[in-house]
Amino acid sequence: MEINKIEDVILPRRVIGVDAGWEEELAPIIAAYAYNGYEEPAAPASAAEINACEQRLGTTLPADLKLFYQRFGAAKLTEILCPLSEFVAAGDNAAWLANYPAEEQEVLRELVVFGEYLGNGNLWCFHKQTKEIYYFDHDTQPNVNRMFATFFEYLQCLLILTQGELGSHVEGVEKKCEEMVVALIGRERVQKWLYYGGWG
């Protein structure tokens, strides 16, 4: 696929594990981003790799994240999705936890890191119990932010932003993709996520 105008952008709507054809909807975006970056697509995760990850973490992966990794692995996108072997329980580092208020420490002990925002220290996590998606902002309070109810909701927004990057050679496409994400989750959450003070 190529993004030469905003109409080329796919808004993923088929929910992973719920709607038929979700793989076919996501595949062109993932393939295009890997191709654009001259990278081979990530290898799908095996059942053994998923089981080993869950055993190591002492919790199950969110069902939609698990299905996504079984099909696409740690796909190359505009943000970093970690290989299963790099998933880590945030609460394992007691010295690091001590830097944050008690109420945030309580939540952090329940989080598993699965991704990074641009490799800058901000992390994407899922909650061991609820499977909700949290954004850990390393330098701006609040540091711990519940952002999405499911992995799919995060992925939906990430894939729109990824297509914005693919279409960044066309004036206005990247900004319009960001505005699509604002329409989905609200300006406040997008500002927290992308460090934006607002759009002119």
Per-residue pLDDT tens digits for 143-194: 999 999 999 999 999 999 999 999 999 999 999 999 999 999 999 999 999 8
| 18-55: pLDDT as tens digits | 999 999 999 999 999 999 998 899 999 999 999 999 99
Break the chain into its structural domains and give their ranges: 10-194
The two three-digit tokens of residue 9, written as one number: 């952008």
Domain spanning 10-194 has what CATH number? 3.40.1580.10
Q: What is the mean pLDDT of residues 90-113?
A: 93
- Please state at what angle helix 173-185 crosses helix 151-166, rounded to 10 degrees: 170
pLDDT of residue 187: 94
Q: What is the mean pLDDT of residues 69-84?
A: 97
Instruction: Compute the half-sphere exposure of residue 16: CA atoms within 13 Å on the CB side of its CA.
Output: 21
pTM of the entire predicted model: 0.94
Distances (CA, A) of 75 to 34, 113, 192: 8, 16, 24
Rounded to 10 degrees, the C-alpha dihedral 153/82/45/177 comes to 40
